[in-house]
Structures are given as structure tokens and as C-alpha cells.
């Protein structure tokens, strides 16, 4: 994957937040947080360089870039965080005012014909059959019209976290789905299973909030 473009843009947008939460959540002093960030940037670039380019129209490239960035920070920390503290860290690092705005904008088109068509196209793509760092999903609309579910049978984050030796920390990334759904303002996110927990799939359910 090329460094110029989305990877460098994601770093520019989120690096300060990732650094700030090293102190606010994980308890590092500001100087150590700065050193971790300085070490994480070349590690992030190294991880990105090993990833293949995603197919045009694959909606999951940002997910794997976020995974690469979190992995780079964890591998640059002097002590390995537990999954609970990393979950809190990642949510607060990601849910910046800009990200919350993005989620609200995305929420405006949730459940529209264009959104449904996009989900069906993603399900049909089966991108992980050709790129192990992408995702395969099936799409199910709830019969009562209350929302839909994306059911993932292959997960690029699981693949990359395992390669980085961080697979046990994968649930810290999975939890962000709840925060993004809440920020969007129109859905309740529901989940019973995750691949990272050893289940056969990840179910990502989006139920319409009652007005």
C-alpha cells in the first residue's frame, strides 16, 4: 500500500489524538508519549508498506489503516497494555470531534436505498478471497424492517493483528463499532459473536433508533 494518500492523511488527522491519549488513558508522561509517537510513525509506515493495494470500491481500506496505526503505537510502547485499557485508549484516540462529525454525516444516509445497495455490493465483492487484509461479509435485512446485519466471515484486522503478534488485543478495535454507531445518532449497534473470540463470524447489527 502506498504511503502517500490515505495512510499519511490518517496519520496527520489522528497522530495528536493518539499521542494525547497515551497520557490521558495509559498514564505515560508527556515526554514518553512524544517518544512513543516518534517511534510509532516509522513503524506505521513499515506496516503500511507491507500491505497490498485495496481494490477500487473496497470500503474497508480505512479499517486496515486504522489497525496499522494502532499496532504501530502498541509496538512502540515500553509496556504492553491489556485489552481493557487499550479499548478505552483506542476509542478516545479515534473519536475526535472530526470523527464524530463524520459519523453524524454517515448517519444521515443510513438505511437509504444507496446505503442498502452499497452493503449488498460489498457482500457480493468477497474481497478477502483476493486480499487477506480485507473482509468477506454476508448481508441480512431484518424481516421486520428494523435494520440490517453485516455478518463477517473473514476479517483483515484479525489477519494483520495476528501477524503483528497482537491478536489477543483485537477486541480493543472491535469495540469501536459501538462508539461510531452511537455517534451517528440513528442506530443501536448489536453484536453477539466475533471472530477474535473464536466464533465462526462477527455479526454487526444496526437497529433503527426509535424517534
Residue in the structure block whose three cell numbers are 499496532: 71
Rounded to an integer, what distance in angstroms lies between the CA atom of residue 87 and that of residue 149? Answer: 23
- Cell numbers found for residue 188: 443501536
Q: Can you list the positions of beta strands (E) in 32-169?
A: 136-141, 147-154
Strand order in the sheet with 147-154: 136-141, 147-154, 202-208, 187-190
- Name the residue ranges covered by the structural domains of the chain: 6-208
pLDDT tens for each residue of 118-166: 999 999 999 999 999 999 999 999 999 999 999 999 999 999 999 999 9
Q: Exposed, middle or buried, 23 (CB in 10 Å: 0-12/13-18/19+)?
A: middle
Provide the pLDDT confidence category of residue 211 given band limits of 50, 70 and 90: low
pTM: 0.93
pLDDT tens for each residue of 88-128: 999 999 999 999 999 999 999 999 999 999 999 999 999 99
pLDDT tens for each residue of 31-77: 999 999 999 999 999 999 999 999 988 989 999 999 999 999 999 99
Beta bridge partners of 208: 187
Amino acid at each position: 500500500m502506498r504511503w502517500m494518500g490515505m495512510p499519511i492523511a490518517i496519520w496527520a488527522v489522528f497522530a495528536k489524538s493518539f499521542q494525547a491519549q497515551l497520557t490521558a488513558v495509559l498514564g505515560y508522561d508527556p515526554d514518553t508519549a512524544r517518544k512513543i509517537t516518534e517511534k510509532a510513525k516509522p513503524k506505521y509506515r513499515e506496516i503500511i508498506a507491507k500491505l497490498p493495494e485495496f481494490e477500487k470500491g473496497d470500503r474497508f481500506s480505512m479499517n486496515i489503516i486504522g489497525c496499522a496505526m494502532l499496532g504501530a503505537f502498541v509496538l512502540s510502547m515500553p509496556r504492553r497494555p491489556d485489552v481493557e485499557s487499550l479499548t478505552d485508549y483506542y476509542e478516545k484516540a479515534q473519536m475526535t470531534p472530526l470523527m464524530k462529525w463524520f459519523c453524524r454525516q454517515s448517519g444521515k444516509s443510513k438505511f437509504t436505498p444507496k446505503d442498502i445497495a452499497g452493503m449488498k455490493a460489498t457482500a457480493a465483492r468477497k474481497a478477502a478471497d483476493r486480499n487477506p487484509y480485507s473482509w468477506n461479509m454476508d448481508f441480512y435485512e431484518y424481516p421486520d424492517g428494523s435494520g440490517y446485519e453485516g455478518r463477517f466471515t473473514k476479517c483483515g484486522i484479525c489477519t494483520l493483528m495476528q501477524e503483528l503478534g497482537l491478536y489477543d488485543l483485537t477486541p480493543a478495535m472491535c469495540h469501536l463499532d459501538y462508539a461510531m454507531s452511537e455517534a451517528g445518532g440513528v442506530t443501536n449497534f448489536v453484536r453477539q459473536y466475533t471472530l477474535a473470540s473464536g466464533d465462526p463470524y462477527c455479526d454487526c447489527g444496526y437497529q433503527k433508533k426509535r424517534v
